[in-house]
Structure 1
Amino acid sequence: MSDAPPPHALLRPRIALPFLLTALIWGSTWYVITGQIADASASWSIAWRFMIATPAMFLVALLMRRPLALGPRGQMLAVMIGLFQFCGNFNFVYRSEMHLTSGIVAVMFSIVFVPNALLGRAMLGEPISGRFLLGSLVALSGIALLLVHEARVSPLGGNVVLGIGLGMLGMLSASFANIIQAGSVGRVLPMASLLAWSMLYGTAFNIAIAWWAEGVPVLPVVPAFWYGLVWLALAGSVVTFPLYYQLVRELGAGRAAYNGVAVVIIAMLISTLAEGYGWSLLAIGGALLALFGLLIALRARQA
């Protein structure tokens, strides 16, 4: 008698719970970021975020009794992740929101599963299955509908081309960091320790950029800014990045990045409640298509 096939990936608790928690938290961060860049410079907002997140991540590693020594190759990997994930990605994304609405940036960023899959294939040898391609096409169709709806109801301002370019650079920076942490060097390192050192290097890069671009920091006096900053630092960084990077290792870079599709749906729901986001048949159809594509691509292979 043969063994029963394994459940779909999203039905496995060790996949489903981190997937949902990460999507819920990151879905909220797009709205919180708008308050950050409204009350302070983008550069210093990012630097302060990781000045809070870094010691918290080291504390997590110590509480989990993970060794902090990474060795020379591990430290070099941490420098690269710090540069691309915790510096480049956030600086590009925050600045992109100066020219585009947060909803459009979130929708655009959700297609990170495409470069993740391509880079995962090129750098890690991860296969791209027909089911993944089908799910990607369906999800991209849904995202396109969401993008059209968002452009209609939220007129773009600022330099649109620059905003799109910055958003794309942020997405590519995050995708590259996703891939290199899942390589042979990163897989043998304790996740919490690798992230702690990566955030430390990212913080150093962020402070240098902020000081060069903005000069001496001016501390905001708006309490909501600091509440949002703590949420972004602790929940949006310390809690989520270990969970998401583990998903990359469990599901593969392409399928793990489908988390971004769920993030967009949650971000739009939050926008509905907090900003009066108006749903149309176009938006509803896009959301349903995106979720359907996600389920197709995430369906686990049979044993």
Structure 2
Amino acid sequence: MTRASVSRVVLPFAAVTLIWGTTWYVIKTQLGVVPPQWSVTYRFAVASLLMFGACIVMRRTLRFPLSAHGFFLLLGLFQFAGNFNFVYQASRSITSGLIAVVFALLVVPNTLFARLFLKQPISGRFMIGAGLGIVGVALLFERELTETGWSAAFTTGLVLTGCAVILASVSNVMQGTERARTYDMFGMLAFAMAYGAIIDAGVAWATSGPPVVEWTPAYLGGVFYLAAFASALAFLLYFNVIRIIGPAWAAYSSVLIPFIAMTISTFLEGYRWTPVAVTGAVLTIVGLLIALRARSVPAGTAAAGGTTGRS
């Protein structure tokens, strides 16, 4: 693996995985007083303001043709509105662990959509690695899965999470297109997050009434962390990785994030590892190593999941 590959892909990928692995713990500070729809709205409203500020400071362009704003609006609708609102609604019916297991499947639609719409090859070794990783995540949450009874609410939660996965996958594949590469990443995210926040606000007002804010350091600090690090910075890095290596390989972060979250919970919340969970962690890591060896990551490539050499 070249030094350019490490700096352009591996380090950003690792940073995104670590950041999003911490969000489960931080999101707990957002639950309670404020309806979740409004918390999502605040998150992306602040994130968009930060991105606009970065564009001004770095003198990035904010001038785009009208057709570009149509692209940004769809990205905001799919990623920053639909995806997150479906997830928050699903969390009312099923556990966060089960949502994590379903989201680990993101690598599947990303790979299929990349093959269908971007004509990017699918590596058998990559799919084996992804499969092992998904099984590993399921074992991490084996207790939650076995204790969850089947009901109408359970079915609703699964369907909502599935919708969130599909919308996230569509937005991921949008970043792998040649059209997306013509737009400056900073300006694109600024507008997409702004459009997403506007849609979120409409959904929040319609479902939960006027805005509610919890004026505590924990809540406000959580909003800032989720906006600045888990949104502005993380999506900037993640979408750039997608543009380089494609949506399939980048989606492997969804397999690793639950493992990172459980590790953090071990130190901060006293989570106790069972033999089944340890087995799941091992499978997750083994799956990652197999997926990594399924392709190299040469700078400037855009193939997803294809076998182009060894890392």
Query: Do these two structures clear the TM 0.5 threshold for a shared fold by scoring above it?
Result: yes
Q: Which moved more, 1:200-209 or 1:147-156?
A: 147-156
- Counting only pairs closer than 5 Å after superposition, residues 225-240 of structure 1 correspond to structure 2 as 225-240=219-234
Question: Which amino acid is the alignment partner of residue 76 of structure 1?
Answer: G
Question: Which amino acid is the alignment partner of residue 8 of structure 2?
Answer: R
- 2:56 is the counterpart of 1:62: yes
Structure 2 gaps, min length 5: 297-307
CA change 1:155–1:8 in 2 (3 A) is: farther
Which string of whole-angstrom CA distances, capped at 9 and with x for unpartnered residues, describes residues 180-209 of structure 1? 122121111111111111011101101111
Q: For 1:264, which of 235, 258, 261 is the aligned residue?
A: 258
Distance in 1 (alpha carbons) for counterparts of 2:214 and 2:150: 27
Question: Which amino acid is the alignment partner of residue 91 of structure 1?
Answer: N
Instruction: Give secondary structure in 2 for the equivalent of 1:159.
Output: helix
- 2:196 is the counterpart of 1:206: no
Q: For 2:235, which of 218, 235, 241 is the aligned residue?
A: 241
Aligned positions, number: 297
Instruction: Give secondary structure in 1 for the equivalent of 2:32.
Output: helix
Q: Which moved more, 1:221-230 or 1:255-264?
A: 221-230
Structure 1: 4+ residue segments shifted above 6 A:
153-158
Distance in 1 (alpha carbons) for counterparts of 2:212 and 2:149: 31
Q: For 2:286, which of 264, 279, 292 is the aligned residue?
A: 292
- 2:224 is the counterpart of 1:217: no
Aligned-residue sequence identity (percent) comes to: 39
Q: Which moved more, 1:101-110 or 1:249-258?
A: 101-110
- 2:296 is the counterpart of 1:302: no
Which string of whole-angstrom CA distances, capped at 9 and with x for unpartnered residues, describes residues 62-90 of structure 1? 23322112212211110000000000011
CA contact (8 A) 2:44 2:227 kept: yes
Distance in 2 (alpha carbons) for counterparts of 1:274 and 1:21: 20
Q: Could you tell me how far 1:223 is from its partner in structure 2?
A: 2.8
* Structure 2 length-normalised TM: 0.89
Question: Which amino acid is the alignment partner of residue 216 of structure 1?
Answer: P
Distance in 1 (alpha carbons) for counterparts of 2:155 and 2:164: 14
- 2:140 is the counterpart of 1:146: yes
Instruction: Give secondary structure in 2 for the equivalent of 1:12.
Output: helix
CA change 1:204–1:151 in 2 (3 A) is: same
CA contact (8 A) 2:134 2:255 kept: no
Structure 1 gaps, min length 5: 1-5
Matched with 1:80 is 74
- 2:143 is the counterpart of 1:165: no
* Structure 1 length-normalised TM: 0.91
Distance in 1 (alpha carbons) for counterparts of 2:151 and 2:273: 21
Matched with 1:191 is 185
Which string of whole-angstrom CA distances, capped at 9 and with x for unpartnered residues, describes residues 38-60 of structure 1? 23101111111112111101112
Q: Could you tell me how far 1:25 is from its partner in structure 2?
A: 0.8
Question: Which amino acid is the alignment partner of residue 302 of structure 1?
Answer: G
CA change 1:286–1:294 in 2 (3 A) is: same
Q: For 2:95, which of 94, 97, 101 is the aligned residue?
A: 101
* CA RMSD across the alignment: 2.2
CA change 1:190–1:251 in 2 (3 A) is: same
Q: Could you tell me how far 1:228 is from its partner in structure 2?
A: 0.8
